[in-house]
Chains A and B, each alone.
Chain A
Amino acid sequence: MKYLMLVCTDPDYTPGQDDGAPDVEDWVTEMDGKGIRLMGNRTRPASDATTVRVRDRQVLLTDGPYAETKDQIAGFDILECADLDEAIDVASRHPMAWAGMIELRPFWPDDEDQ
C-alpha cells in the first residue's frame, strides 16, 4: 500500500522533548535501501507558498498557504508499506515524529471507486 507521509511541525512543541531522536539522513538511507521510501522532499515554508483557485473561470492566486494549513507542512515522503503498522513504524522512526508530527494518508487507488 502507498501512503503519503506529511511531515509537519508542531506549534506546541518545546525544544528538548526530542532528545534521542534519530538522524534524518540515516532514516532516508535505510528507507530508500529497503524500497519503502519511493520519494520525498522538504518543502519551502508557507511564506513561499501560493494558493491557486479557479472561480468563474478566473484563476485566483493567494500569497501564502490555504489558511488552515498555516506553516505546518515541512515536507513529504511517499511510502510503500505492507500495512498501516509498517507505515506507523517507519513514521515513528523519523526525527520529525519526535520534534513535530507526521500524518499518514493512504493513497486512494485508481481502480477503487468508493
Chain B
Amino acid sequence: MTRVTAQVTDRIAGIYADGWSRIVAAMIRFTGGNWDLAEECAQDAFAQALQKWPVSGVPDQPLAWLTTTARHRAIDRIRRASTEAAKLREVAAMDLEPPPYPSDSEIPDERLELMFTCCHPSLSLDAQVALTLRSLAGMSTAEIARAFLVPERTMGQRLFRAKQKVAHAGIPFRVPPPHLLPDRLPAVLHVLYLVFNEGYGDPRRARLCQEAIRLARVLTALMPDEPEAHGLLALMLLHNARRSARVDAGGNLVTLDEQDRTLWDQAQIAEGALICERALRQRRAGPFQLQAAIAACHATAPVAAQTDWPQIVGLYGQLARLAPSVIVDLNRAVAVGMADGPDAALPLVDAIVGTGQLDGYYLLHATRADLLQRAGRGPEAAGSYRRALDLAPTDAERRFLRNRLELC
C-alpha cells in the first residue's frame, strides 16, 4: 500500500467511526424503514470510497459524498427490484429524483431517531443492545458476538430478528412524543450504560466503553436539555478515567482507596465532574446524575483519606429516595461507615441482612466483615469473610477476601 493510500484509508476509518450511524440513520429514513437495504447501501458507499478516494482524493464534504452515493445505490436497487409487485409500494413512497448534492452540514441528523428505534421497549433488552451496537456504533456482527461471548451465528440471528420485528411490528422511526419520553429515554440510557459496563470489566473489551461514551456524547449533543443524559455521560467518563488503576499487574482487583491515583486520567475526571455539576444545576436530579456526583466525590479526592464521605452519604440518601434499591442501601451503609465509623453503619447493614434479600450477595457479607473488623470484633468478622468467600464469583475476589481473612 502506498503512503497516500494508507493515509486515505486511515481517514476513511475515522469518517466511518463518526459517520456510519449518521448515514445508516439517514438511509433508514430515506428507504422508509428498510433497515437491511439502508445498511447495505451505507456499506456500499464506504466500499466505493475505499476504491475511489485514494485516486481522486477525499472530497471536501465526505459525509455528503457518502450519503449521496448510498442514496443512488438505494434507488438503483429498488428500481431493479421494482418489477416485483411487492416492491411497488416502496417505490411509490420514494422520491426517485436523484437527490440534490447536499453539504455535510445540510444532512439531517437522524441518529436520535435511530437510538430510540433501537431501544424501543417492545424489543428484548438483548436485541436493543445488539441493534444499538450494530447501527449506531457500526460494529460488525462478529465483533458484537465476541463482545457478548456468543457465537456469531447466534448474534446474526438476534440482529436479523430484531430488524424484522422493527419492520413487521411497525416500530416507528422517530423520537417519541413528549408524553412518552419519560418512559422511553431511560431505556436508551440503560442500554448505553449496559454497553459501557460490558466493556468496563474486561480490558479486551475496552472498545465498548469508548463506544458507549461516544454515543452518550451524541445523545447529549442532540438532547441538550435532558440532564440525565448528561449525568450518564459524566458517570461513564468518571468511571472510565480510573480504568487503568482498577487492576494490578497480577490481574488483582485494586480497591478504590488503594488505587494509584497518578494513573487516573485527570482530564477525563475534570470533564466528567464539570458535566455532572452543570446537569445538577438544572435541578432535575436523576439516578445517573446522583451516581455521577458520587463518582465525582471519589475521583476528585486528592487522597483516599480526603474523600468527602458525608456528602456521599447525602447523595446515596437522595438516590435511595429516587430509585430505592437494597444495593443503594448497602452502598449508603458503607459510606456511613466511612463518615461516622463502623458502629454507626453496622445497624444499617444488619437491617439489610435481616431482610434476607441479599443473602447470596458476597459484597453484603464482605461489607459486614469489614465493618466488624474495624469495630474490633475480629472473630465475628472472620465468620462473615468466610461466608463472603463461599459466594465470591471470581478468583480475583476470592484472593482479595482470603487476604483480608488472614488479618482477622
Q: What is the interface of chain A, defined by CB distance below 8 A to chain B?
A: 1, 3, 81-85, 87-88, 104, 106, 108, 111-113
Contact = CB atoms under 8 A, between A and B. Distances in A.
A85 B120 CA distance: 10
Contacts of A84: 120, 122, 169-172
A111 B86 contact: yes
B122 A88 contact: yes
Nearest to B176: A85
Contact of A83 (B86, B89, B171, B180): B171
A85 B172 contact: yes
Interface string B373-396: 000000000000000000000000
A87 to B, nearest CB: 7
Contacts of A111: 85-86, 89
Contacts of B169: 84, 104, 106
Contacts of B176: 85
21 contacts: A1-B170, A81-B170, A82-B170, A82-B172, A83-B170, A83-B171, A83-B172, A84-B120, A84-B122, A84-B169, A84-B171, A84-B172, A85-B171, A85-B176, A85-B180, A87-B170, A104-B169, A106-B168, A108-B168, A111-B85, A112-B86
Given A84-B171, A104-B169, 12 more contacts: A1-B170, A3-B170, A82-B170, A83-B170, A83-B171, A83-B172, A84-B172, A85-B172, A87-B170, A106-B170, A108-B168, A111-B86
Contacts of A85: 171-172, 176, 180
A1 B86 CA distance: 16
Most buried by A among B120, B169, B176, B180: B169
Chain B: interface residue count, which band?
10 to 19
Contacts of A83: 170-172
Contacts of A87: 170
Q: Which 4 A-B pairs have the closest CB atoms?
A: A83-B172, A1-B170, A84-B170, A83-B170
Contacts, number: 30
Interface string B85-100: 1100100000000000
A81 B180 CA distance: 17
A15 B169 CA distance: 31
A82 B33 CA distance: 14
A51 B171 CA distance: 33
Contacts of B172: 82-85
A47 B45 CA distance: 60
Interface string B75-111: 0000000000110010000000000000000000000
Nearest to A88: B122
A61 B224 CA distance: 62
B50 to A, nearest CB: 31
B312 to A, nearest CB: 38
Nearest to A81: B170
B382 to A, nearest CB: 44
A94 to B, nearest CB: 17
A111 B176 CA distance: 29
Contacts of A113: 86
A24 B208 CA distance: 48
A113 B122 CA distance: 24
Nearest to A112: B86
Contacts of A108: 168
Contacts of A88: 122
Interface string B60-85: 00000000000000000000000001
B179 to A, nearest CB: 9
A59 to B, nearest CB: 33
A3 B169 CA distance: 9
Nearest to B184: A85
A111 B88 CA distance: 10
Contacts of B85: 111
B313 to A, nearest CB: 36
A81 B171 CA distance: 11
Most buried by A among B86, B122, B170, B176: B170
A65 B168 CA distance: 28
A100 B89 CA distance: 38
Interface string B155-192: 00000000000001111100010001000000000000
